[in-house]
A and B are shown apart, each in its own frame.
Chain A
Amino acid sequence: MAKVRTNIMVCTGTGCLANESEKVIRNLEVILKARGYAEEVQVIKTGCFGFCEQGPIVKIEPDNVFYVRVSPKDAKDIIDEHIIKGRRVERLLYVEPKQKEKINRQEDMPFYKKQLRVALRNCGLINPEDINEYIARGGYEALGRVTTEMTRDQVIEEVKKSGLRGRGGGGFPTGLKWEITKKQESDVKFIICNADEGDPGAFMDRSILEGDPHSVLEAMAIGGYAIGADKGIIYIRAEYPLAISRLNTALKQARELGLLGKNIFGTNFSFDIDLKYGAGAFVCGEETALINSCEGKRGEPNYKPPYPAEEGYWGHPTCVNNVETFANITPIIMRGAEWFASMGTEKSKGTKVFALAGKINNVGLVEVPMGITLREIIFDIGGGIPNGKKFKAVQTGGPSGGVITEEGLDTPIDYESLLERGSMMGSGGMIVMDEDDNMVNIAKFYLEFTMDEACGRCVPGRIGTRRIFEILQKITDGKATMADLDALKQLAYMVKDSSLCGLCQTAPNPVISTMKYFWDEYLAFIKDVDHPRGEGKYTAENKAEIKS
């Protein structure tokens, strides 16, 4: 094997691919070959670096130079200047917007400074299509240790001690979920990975699967060992073709090396994983709906209990965990529960990945320790609001969450503190809004989403969300009266209290929280209050009409 002196790492996450990173790679390879450097310089396709706003990202190692917004025609300069002459291509370096300084190295960039990467540890570092690169980073060592040195109870104990909680939204302790499933007496059990990421604007699960698929496969095998399942299922959105293809490659490679299949590491533990595709239904992120969908049925939720841990896939005990939850498992096994529990707050341990999007300078994927404040995420990591606009609110938890305003920015975030503020952790979507956004329109946008996605199983979900949306429509059309606002409030709490599953129980949250914090924006559509940013349709002409 020829000795490679330099690696050119190019991001091939969905965001960068959409920005022609494939062409960048092709040009780099062609030019390298033409200049005769193809032997000593290698182009590596990596997973997501997280800094999607500045994509496509190209990183040169070991020089540790980070180029941003690289277009296919920049490939020539990267090779001729950087690789051959050893001169940095200044115009491709990241410029810090506040100080207007050019920054060379990834770790000096404010976007990365406050981040702590556990679940995303390999994303942007390794080639996701090569299992050897994962193994070189310590991959599958945890599975080896678990199957050969640890009992099933020890594994569960370790995960319990770490304090890891479900990253899909609910925040249920993962170790406890494993323990409950293990205790069920059954010859057949299943472990399912929930990769049905439906929150619009959240893309952490996709990035993990695209950038580091083996970390999920390995953790599923560990979970399977712990609960006593020999079969795993990954339920993934059909809208994620790249993640599906990388998972298929990863599964094939793991089977070839005997890391999945019969008698793993020479023990009598056997485990294999199947892929099941979703078909576009947000409710399938709810675990009982997901199991129904895995069985090829309409993805409607069931009443609980029985919980999936008791009666799940085809009636067998089933444990459902989220992608990001799984991505935290191997570090916990390798570095110990104490290390993991040393990060975060009292009740929420470890780190959390957030997808920063909306009116923010640095759109991208960030992983931060629990307990960091929203201000740090939005202004230090996210670089603040573009075009000199003023921050208005941030929506966490997607359509199930609520808005957090300026006054909540300094609360350390964890599962509990977000709930207290009327929002929730959710899967980690974070949409930033500036002074131009009308909050009633935002609430209407979310309700239109949940109304479309409500599965129809329960009446509050099917009809209630529709009526809420209709009232919001009436308000933004400028035709609502105060009585409609009262009805809206009442209806919102009713749907919240009486819906069958999490989807519709949380669906009114955007309405409830915007009514709480931005009541005057609702009023602006109705009463003649002087609100600077409202889009109220109220005019002197229709005053009589509204009053009557």
Chain B
Amino acid sequence: MEILLKDNVAKDGEYMTEPQAISVTAPAAEDLPKEKFDELEAFIDSMETTKGALIAILHKAQDIFGYLPRDVQLYIARKLGIPGAEVFGVVSFYSYFTTKPGGKHTLSVCMGTACFVRGADKVIERLKEKLNVESNETTEDGLFTLKDVRCIGACGLAPVVMVDDKVYGRVREEDVDDIIREYRSQEGQQ
């Protein structure tokens, strides 16, 4: 959201924000494998009751597919016999759910207060510049998705950057280049 705001400010000096661009009508970009739908169906069928279980089902679906594309949301809606809008309403409410596929590695910068006062804002700016993306976007080569996340609780190591499950603590602005290089070179070797 802050991204939209900044762009806006630069353009016309106004301080009004624009609604978030969410497309529910765009066609799904890729084919989703049937086995994954089967796995999701088996999970739903194994539940004692689906009453109040929508969030649990969405967690499972995101585990399986990696994200929650429109087709998966509609599938869940039909399976549970509820409107698709209700499913989308829940998906869009919670920041943990994502409707876009991520890159190979997720770079999460902790934006908790402890990290913020120790310079996390500078770290994420550097990452945005180096990767040429904004937060919650994926690099062109599909290697990294940049995320600003809520406190991960490793405040003793602030500021913290996580690459997938690996934690990098006490990150300085200049360390960012090394971290990116490390993963880029791994990719080169494969």
A residues with a Cβ closer than 8 A to B are 14-15, 18-19, 52-55, 198-203, 206, 238-240, 276-282, 293-300, 314, 355, 357-359, 363-364, 395, 398, 429, 431, 433, 437, 442, 445-446, 448, 451-452, 455, 466, 470-471, 473-474, 477, 479
Instruction: Say yes or no: A431 contacts B56, CB within 8 Å.
Output: no
List 5 A-B pairs, Cβ < 8 Å. Answer: A19-B157, A298-B89, A357-B158, A445-B113, A451-B1
Contact of B150 with A280 in the complex, beta carbons under 8 Å: yes
Q: Indicate if the CB atoms of A200 and B111 lie closer than 8 Å.
A: yes
The one of B1, B56, B155 that contacts A52, using a Cβ cutoff of 8 Å: B155
**How many inter-chain residue pairs (CB < 8 Å) link A and B?**
138
Are A201 and B95 neighbours in the complex by a CB distance under 8 Å? no
B17 x A201 contact (CB < 8 A): no
Residues of chain B within 8 A of A202, CB atoms compared: 151
Let me know if B118 is at the binding interface, CB within 8 A. yes
A357 touching B155, Cβ below 8 Å? yes
Bound complex: CA of A165 vs CA of B8, how far in Å? 46
A201 close to B9 (CB less than 8 A) = no
Asked if B27 is an interface residue, CB under 8 A from chain A, the answer is no
Residues of A within 8 A of B154 (CB): 14-15, 18, 52
Contacts of B117 in A (CB 8 A): 358-359, 431, 433, 437, 442
* Chain B interfacial residues counted at CB < 8 A: 43
B52 close to A314 (CB less than 8 A)? yes
- Bound form: Cα–Cα A203–B158 in Å: 13
B167 to chain A: which residues have CB within 8 Å? 18-19
- Residues on the B chain within 8 Å of A445, using CB: 113, 116
A203–B5 contact, CB under 8 A? no
Write the nearest CB–CB distance from A109 to chain B, whole angstroms.
Answer: 15
Residue of A nearest to B116 (CB): A445
The verdict on A276 contacting B55 (CB below 8 Å), with A296-B90, A299-B94, A437-B117 known, is yes
Q: Which residues of B contact A364 (CB under 8 A)?
A: 156
Q: Which of B137-187 contact A (CB under 8 A)?
A: 149-158, 160, 167, 169
Tell me, yes or no, whether B69 is within 8 Å of chain A by CB. Answer: no
- Chain A residues contacting B44 (CB-CB under 8 Å) are none
Least CB separation from B155: chain A residue = A357
Residues of B within 8 A of A276 (CB): 55-56
Using CB atoms, name the residue of chain B closest to A479: B13
The answer to whether A280 and B94 touch (CB under 8 A), given A18-B167, A466-B17, A473-B9, is: yes
B40 within 8 A of A: no
Query: CB < 8 Å: which of B9, B90, B153 contacts A14?
Result: B153
When the two chains form their complex, are residues A239 and B160 in contact, meaning their CB atoms are under 8 A apart? Answer: no
Give bound CA distance, A470 to B4, whole Å: 12
Q: Check B24 for interface membership: any CB of A closer than 8 A.
A: no
In the complex, A201 Cα to B111 Cα: how many Å?
A: 9
In the complex, how many angstroms separate the beta carbon of B9 from the nearest chain A beta carbon? 7
Greatest chain B CB density within 10 A among A201, A297, A445, A470 is at A201
Q: How far is the CA of A150 from the CA of B153 in the complex (A)?
A: 39
> Closest Cβ of chain A: how far from B114's Cβ, in Å?
3
Given the interface pairs A239-B152, A448-B2, the reply to whether A470 lies near B15 with Cβ below 8 Å is yes
Which single residue of chain A is at the shortest CB-CB distance from B1? A452
Can you list, as one digit per residue, whether each of B1-31 has a CB less than 8 Å from chain A (1) or not (0)? Answer: 1100100010001011100000000000000
Q: Which residue of B lies closest to A314 (CB)?
A: B52
Q: Do A474 and B15 touch across chains, with their CB atoms under 8 A apart?
A: yes
B74 touches A (CB below 8 Å): no
Contact between B151 and A203, CB atoms less than 8 A apart? yes
Complex CA distance for A132 and B97, rounded to whole angstroms = 38
Given A19-B169, A281-B94, A357-B114, is A296 in contact with B55 using a C-beta cutoff of 8 Å?
Answer: yes
Name the residue on A nearest B114 (C-beta): A357
User: Which residue from A277, A281, A296, A429 sits with its C-beta under 8 Å from B95?
Assistant: A281
Chain A residues with Cβ under 8 A from B94's Cβ? 278-281, 299
Contact B53 A477 (CB under 8 A): no
User: Does B131 have its Cβ within 8 Å of any Cβ on chain A?
Assistant: no
Bound-state Cα–Cα, A304 to B2, Å: 32
Let me know if B93 and A363 touch, CB within 8 A.
no
A300–B92 alpha-carbon span in the complex (Å): 13
User: Which residue of the partner chain, among A15, A433, A466, contacts B156 with CB atoms under 8 Å?
Assistant: A15
Q: Is the beta-carbon distance between A296 and B53 smaller than 8 angstroms?
A: yes
Shortest CB–CB separation between residue B156 and chain A, in angstroms?
3
Residues of chain A lying within 8 A (CB to CB) of residue B55: 276-277, 279, 293, 296
Known: A18-B160, A238-B59, A445-B116. 17 other contacts (CB 8 A): A15-B153, A15-B154, A18-B157, A19-B169, A199-B151, A200-B114, A203-B155, A279-B58, A279-B96, A296-B56, A297-B54, A299-B94, A357-B114, A357-B155, A431-B117, A473-B9, A479-B13
